[in-house]
Structure formats: structure tokens, C-alpha cells
Amino acid sequence: MATVLTDTGTHAVPTAGGLMLAPEDAERITGWTLKPEGMCREEFCVPVPAGMKQGTHIDVAAFWRHLGNPVASDRAGQTWVLGTGPGERQSALAGLQAPEFVLPDLAGKQHRLSDYRGQKVFLTTWASW
């Protein structure tokens, strides 16, 4: 069982070594679905090189890098981060629409940036350190 941190949250998934996942687990954590033509998200499909498959399983770390996205893992191969690549992030900023996030306050209440649509927002960071 590995822990995978993605932009959508923290996921526990069974692996067959490395980040070799069953297609349904790969879909659950990445949003990409394995089809005969490759890994697909909505109408868009990316062929999967033969080396990235092992039986029915797919090497999600290798596929993620293949998409141009960052991957990090601990030495034990138990914890993985699947990040978002520079192209997608730069395009989002160039579009000028403020990237959405959901974060808790001290009481645990979740706040979504878009909850404040209709107001001017002064978004500022700070830290205790």
C-alpha cells in the first residue's frame, strides 16, 4: 500500500511495486482512464509506451513523468507526490483567472476562494516562522 499526494488530496492505493497500479486505482487518483488507445482524460488520449505496462497494471509514476509532470517519492517507495507540470501551471496563470483552492480555517471550516466571487480579494500569505 502506498500513499499518493496529488492536487486533489491524499490517497492510499495498493501497488504491485513502485507506483504500479491497477487501472481503476490509477483512474481514481489521476483522473486518467486506461482504454485500448491509451490513457484518456475526457476526449484526449495519450498512447502508453509498452514499458509502462506490466500485465493489467500501469506504472503511474512513469506515465506522470511522460506527461511532463513532476514526480517525487521517498526512498522506501511508500509515499509519492504527483505534481502539476510547469506548462499547465503557466497557462493557468497566463489566463489570469485566479487559481482555485480550498483551505481550512482554525476551526476546520473549509473556505473556497470562489466563495468570495463578487468581492475584491486581497489574498496575502504570512507565516509564524
Partner 1 sequence: MWQDLQDCLFDAPFTVIAVAEEGRGAEQARPWIEQARPAYPCLIDSDHRVSALYGMVNVPQCVWIDERGVIVRPPETAGSTDHFRRMDFSTRTLAPEDAAARLAARAAYLDAVRAWVRTGKHALPGDEARARMPVITAEMAQADALFRLALHLRRHGQAAEAGEHFAEASRLHPDSWSMFRDAMALEPSGLAGGAAFWDRVNALGDKPYYTPPDL
Q: Site residues (CB under 8 A) for partner 1?
A: 3, 5, 68-75, 79-86, 89-90, 92-94, 96-99, 101, 103-106, 111, 113-114, 116-129
Long-range contacts, stretch 104-112, CB < 8 angstroms, 24+ apart: none
Residues in contact with 78: Cβ distance below 8 Å, sequence separation at least 6, in sequence order: 2, 3
Which residue number, 33 or 69, has a Cβ lying nearer to partner 1? Answer: 69
Q: How far is the CB of 95 from partner 1 (least distance, A)?
A: 9
Per-residue buried b or exposed e for 20-30, using 16+ beta carbons within 10 Å of the residue's own CB: bbbbebbbebb
The minimum distance between CB 40 and partner 1, in angstroms, equals: 23
The residue assigned the cell 482555485 is 100
- For residues 50 and 123, which CB has a smaller minimum distance to partner 1 in the complex? 123
Q: Least distance in Å: CB of 18 to partner 1?
A: 15
